[in-house]
């Protein structure tokens, strides 16, 4: 009986291996750029060596694949939504990770915060319906906009040649010791070339090829960098063929209040976004998504985050672009994305493939980042389109939160003379902006926030990512 049901249910359909492999590889290609760009950005901010960068990319690919298996295939009865999705690193986590990693605690604070936030997600998944009411579009949209806007500086820095400003080191005379040719025309030209390729690919490519536009831009820019002497292939030659991902490769995690609070807030926003993706996926797969399904999906992301901290990689959430690929191809079998997870894990065990991603010049990454991080900010604006701005109160929530968030990100000494715990918690622009948005929304809209039913709340969340599909 169960076999018959599996045959007629497109989500549980078991396709032959001859179809699973190419379809799974297609999903890997659709998310590959996003998967490798994030570790490169964070690794550069941490000033990792090429060998460390290779290990970071490898750990990320491996954990992406493992997390995808937990979500698609499931772990036990209550972990995994068991739908065709891919888990990857959310760009909303990039800014917070850089801010934490460049702080006093360094990279080990990142992984401590990721592990604790993963445990928080696991715990929160059981009463998410009660928490999500504090994150309506006016809050989530504002937070995502702040994150995107704060990342723009990182993008422009890289477009100029690399670390410059708050993420750079300086010589005693004040000169930049990491980017002596910062702003050189060859760097700016390469960044512009990469961005133009991405824009042209988005304009002239269609369907699946359009989903690869960032990957095409990065590849074209890296090849062009060879002619300017900016692409160094030595890390590929130095990397080994096989290496098993090692837990705590960059050190044992450390636990600090500020970074933990920051990552927990980012995780809450990610939970809301993932819920929106789950509902969109349900539409694509013609499957009704229940609150129980949402809880199972979020628990899988919590497990993935804990693993991300253990393997010194990243927090993981559901990739919406892969849901778009499911809609495009019409193939709804979750075993396709299970196959994609296995492919990602395999790539993570092959450092030479991971090293290929590390040879991308800074300026090429910068060109791609301008588009990618701009999209993060634009996603926040899209969420805010659901907000009733005829109410002055909503305008004030957004206005004050953005001012606090971006202000604290740009003027980093703002809270330096405040008590240490206050400085630790609110020195992050993301925390400052998020807390401001939550408090002001409760202040102006308390009755509306507390008076909504769970059904009304989940109906709102269901439209968070609707523009993707």
**pLDDT by 10s per residue, the chain, length 469:** 444 444 567 888 888 888 888 888 878 877 777 778 788 888 877 888 888 888 888 889 999 999 999 999 988 888 989 999 888 887 778 878 887 887 777 889 999 999 999 999 999 888 876 777 787 888 888 888 887 787 777 778 778 776 544 334 444 444 444 456 677 788 888 889 999 998 998 888 876 677 677 778 888 888 888 888 888 777 777 767 778 788 888 889 999 888 898 888 888 878 877 887 787 788 778 888 888 888 899 999 999 999 999 998 888 888 776 776 787 677 888 999 999 999 999 988 888 877 777 777 878 888 887 887 787 788 788 888 888 888 898 999 999 999 988 887 777 677 777 765 666 566 667 778 888 888 999 999 888 777 776 666 666 666 655 444 3
Nearest C-alpha neighbor of 345 from the set 27, 54, 65:
65
Taking a C-beta distance cutoff of 8 angstroms, is the pair 251, 300 a contact? no
The angle that helices 392-410 and 137-160 make with each other, rounded to 10 degrees, is 30
Three-class secondary structure of residue 249 per DSSP = coil
CB atoms within 10 A of CB 233: 12
Q: What is the distance between the alpha carbons of residues 168 and 187, in angstroms, rounded to a whole number?
A: 17
27/23 Cα distance (integer angstroms): 7
CB-based contact 344:319 (threshold 8 Å): no
* 105-121: burial string, b at 16+ Cβ within 10 Å, e else: bebbbbbbbbbbbbbbb
Residues 150 and 463: beta-carbon distance below 8 Å:
no
Question: Would you list the domain boundaries of the chain?
Answer: 10-457
| 284 contacts 326 by C-beta, under 8 angstroms | yes
How far is 397 from 409, CA to CA, in rounded Å? 18
């Amino acid at each position: 009986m169960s076999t018959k049901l599996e045959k007629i249910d497109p989500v549980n359909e078991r396709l032959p291996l001859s179809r699973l492999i190419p379809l799974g590889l297609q999903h890997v290609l659709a998310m590959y750029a996003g998967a490798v760009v994030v570790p490169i950005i964070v690794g550069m901010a941490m000033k990792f060596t090429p060998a460390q960068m290779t290990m970071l990319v490898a750990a990320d690919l491996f954990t992406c694949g493992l997390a995808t298996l937990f979500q698609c295939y499931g772990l036990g009865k209550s972990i995994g939504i068991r739908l065709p999705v891919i888990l990857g690193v959310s760009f909303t986590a990039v800014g917070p990770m850089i801010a934490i990693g460049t702080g006093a605690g360094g990279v080990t604070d990142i992984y401590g915060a990721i592990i604790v936030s993963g445990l928080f997600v696991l715990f929160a998944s059981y009463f998410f319906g009660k928490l999500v009411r504090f994150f309506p579009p006016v809050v989530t949209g504002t937070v995502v906009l702040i994150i995107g806007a704060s990342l723009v500086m990182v993008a422009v820095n890289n477009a100029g040649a690399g670390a410059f400003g708050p993420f750079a080191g300086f010589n005693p005379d004040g000169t930049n010791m990491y980017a002596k040719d910062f702003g050189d025309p060859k760097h700016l030209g390469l960044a512009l070339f990469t961005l133009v390729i991405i824009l042209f690919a988005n304009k002239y490519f269609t369907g699946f090829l359009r989903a690869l536009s960032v990957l095409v831009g990065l590849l074209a820019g890296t090849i062009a960098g060879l002619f300017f002497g900016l692409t160094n292939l030595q890390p590929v030659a130095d990397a080994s063929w096989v290496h098993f991902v090692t837990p705590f490769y960059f050190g044992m995690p450390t636990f600090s209040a500020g970074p933990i609070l920051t990552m927990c807030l980012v995780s809450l926003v990610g939970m809301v976004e993932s819920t929106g993706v789950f509902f969109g996926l349900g539409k694509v797969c013609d499957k009704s998504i229940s609150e129980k399904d949402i809880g199972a999906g979020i628990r899988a992301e919590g497990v993935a985050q804990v693993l991300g901290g253990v393997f010194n990689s990243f927090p993981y959430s559901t990739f919406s672009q892969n849901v778009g690929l499911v809609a495009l191809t019409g193939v709804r079998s979750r075993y396709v994305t299970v196959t994609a997870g296995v492919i990602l894990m395999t790539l993570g065990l092959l450092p030479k493939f991971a090293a290929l991603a590390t040879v991308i010049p800074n300026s090429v990454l910068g060109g791609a980042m301008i588009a990618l991080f701009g999209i993060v900010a634009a996603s926040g604006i899209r969420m805010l389109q659901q907000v009733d701005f005829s109410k002055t109160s909503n305008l004030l929530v957004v206005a004050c939160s953005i001012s606090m968030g971006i202000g604290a990100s740009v003027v980093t000494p703002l809270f330096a003379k405040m008590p240490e715990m206050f400085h630790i918690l609110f020195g992050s622009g993301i925390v400052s902006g998020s807390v401001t948005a939550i408090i002001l929304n409760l202040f102006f809209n308390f009755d509306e926030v507390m008076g909504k039913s769970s059904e009304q709340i989940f109906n709102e969340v269901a439209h968070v990512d609707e523009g993707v599909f």
